[in-house]
Amino acid sequence: MKKTLSIFVLMIFMGLGFAAKAQNIQVMYDFGGEREYITTTLEMYKADKWGGTFFFVDIYHDGKKNHNNLPGFNNYGPMGMYMEIERSLNFWQNSKLKNLSAHVEYAGGLGVAPGFLGYNINNAWMFGAEYFFHSKDFRNTLTIQALYKTISQTNQKLPLQFTVVWGMQDLFNVKGLRFNGFADFWWQDNTWVGENLIPFTTGYVFISEPQLWYNVGQFFNCDNLNIGGEVEFSYNFGGLSQGKKFYVNPCLGVKWNF
């Protein structure tokens, strides 16, 4: 799950050259105890006179724990997909409110669980506003979003989501070192199996994915290539075996900026 390009929402509006590389592909290996699989992520951002469009697609490739789920069957291909597409609307880019944008977003996905049971990630729609902060040179950025969120066939105590997206370029004045990521908090009822197989329900979800990348390509006259990784922090996040438990899943990988 990624949304690391959202920080470019106003950078292109300001005419910054490095924002032109707002498309990338990432290949990560997830070391999480319940995972141990590879994720491929494609991200794209494009600005226009009415705002900007951003999307990402995560594809989860089968891990060793999911081989030979059933006698006579092997799963060695993609086992899931998740996507988000966002649209920021900003018709006032030359006004004092240029850092404030309207926001529309869709999220959903599907996959195969161990045992070859298909599942889907319910459609989610979000509507709201976002505000963009930045340093004078735009190397440090922060976007805050407040969104109305509705999830199909899902109970929510409050239909809200709050999102923070950040980016820090040339961290500690090290050329090519980038720290970026996001944090989401929203309300959603999830049912889990507790002790003695007694189910219980949680009412909110938190997830954050800070990333650290280093542009090694600069030493080979190829600024496209980066190495690094991320750590996923989550609480009550779907797809994990237990609610009311904090998870930390480290990943290592490579990123290619187009």
Average pLDDT in the 63-81 region?
Answer: 65
Per the CB < 8 A criterion, the answer to whether 50 and 70 are in contact is no
State the pTM of this model: 0.87
Domain 6-257 has CATH 2.40.160.40: yes
What pLDDT is stored for residue 12 in this prediction? 44
pLDDT confidence tier of residue 185, bands split at 50, 70 and 90: very high
Is the predicted pLDDT of residue 62 greater than 80, yes or no? no
H helical segments located in the chain: none
* Spatial contact of 202 and 216, defined as CB atoms under 8 Å apart: no
Q: Cα–Cα distance between 105 and 127 in angstroms, integer?
A: 7
Token digits for 143?
A: 């976007």
Q: Which CA distances in Å does 111 have to 31, 58, 140, 250? A: 20, 11, 36, 22
Length of the chain: 258
User: Could you read off the pLDDT of 80-130 as tens digits, one per residue?
Assistant: 999 999 999 999 989 999 999 999 999 999 987 766 678 889 999 999 999
What average pLDDT does the segment 182-202 reach? Answer: 82
Average pLDDT score over the chain: 86
